C-alpha cells in the first residue's frame, strides 16, 4: 500500500490509502502477529517503513496512474469481500451441521 501511496497524486486517494494502512492493515497485522506468537511461532521482523523513500535508479521513475492504483484497490476489495463471504458461508454450514446433530 505504501507503493500505491507513493504513486498517487490525488489527495482523496492518498487519504483513503493512509486510512486503510492505519485502520485496517496495521491493526490486522498486529492481531495476526499476536495470534501467531500465542501459538508459539516466531514472527519475523516487519520490513522497515519506506514511506517517502523512493528506490534509487530507474525504478523510481516508473509511476502508476491514479486509475491503475484505484483498479488495484477495487480488485483487492473484491477479493476481501469474496474471502469474507466464503468464511460466512462455511460458518453457517458448520452451525447448521451442529444444530442438526444436537437435534435443534
The pLDDT value recorded for residue 98 is 93
Retrieve residue 9's grid coordinates.
Answer: 497524486
Greatest Cα-to-Cα distance within the chain, rounded to the nearest angstrom: 67
* Angle (nearest 5°) at CA 35 between 3 and 2: 5
pLDDT tens for each residue of 52-63: 555 555 555 667
Counting the structural domains of the chain, the total is 1
Q: Which residues of the chain have pLDDT under 50?
A: none
The pLDDT value recorded for residue 88 is 93
The pLDDT value recorded for residue 56 is 56
Q: What is the residue range of 73's domain?
A: 2-101
For the full predicted model, state whether its pTM sits above 0.85.
no
Amino acid at each position: 500500500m505504501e507503493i500505491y501511496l507513493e504513486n498517487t497524486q490525488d489527495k482523496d486517494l492518498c487519504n483513503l490509502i493512509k486510512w486503510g494502512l492505519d485502520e485496517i492493515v496495521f491493526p490486522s497485522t498486529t492481531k495476526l502477529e499476536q495470534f501467531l506468537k500465542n501459538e508459539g511461532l516466531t514472527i519475523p521482523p516487519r520490513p522497515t517503513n519506506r514511506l517517502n523513500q523512493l528506490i534509487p535508479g530507474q525504478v523510481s521513475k516508473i509511476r502508476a496512474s491514479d486509475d491503475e492504483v484505484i483498479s488495484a484497490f477495487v480488485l483487492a476489495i473484491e477479493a476481501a469481500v469474496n474471502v469474507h463471504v466464503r468464511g460466512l458461508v462455511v460458518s453457517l454450514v458448520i452451525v447448521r451441521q451442529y444444530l442438526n446433530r444436537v437435534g435443534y
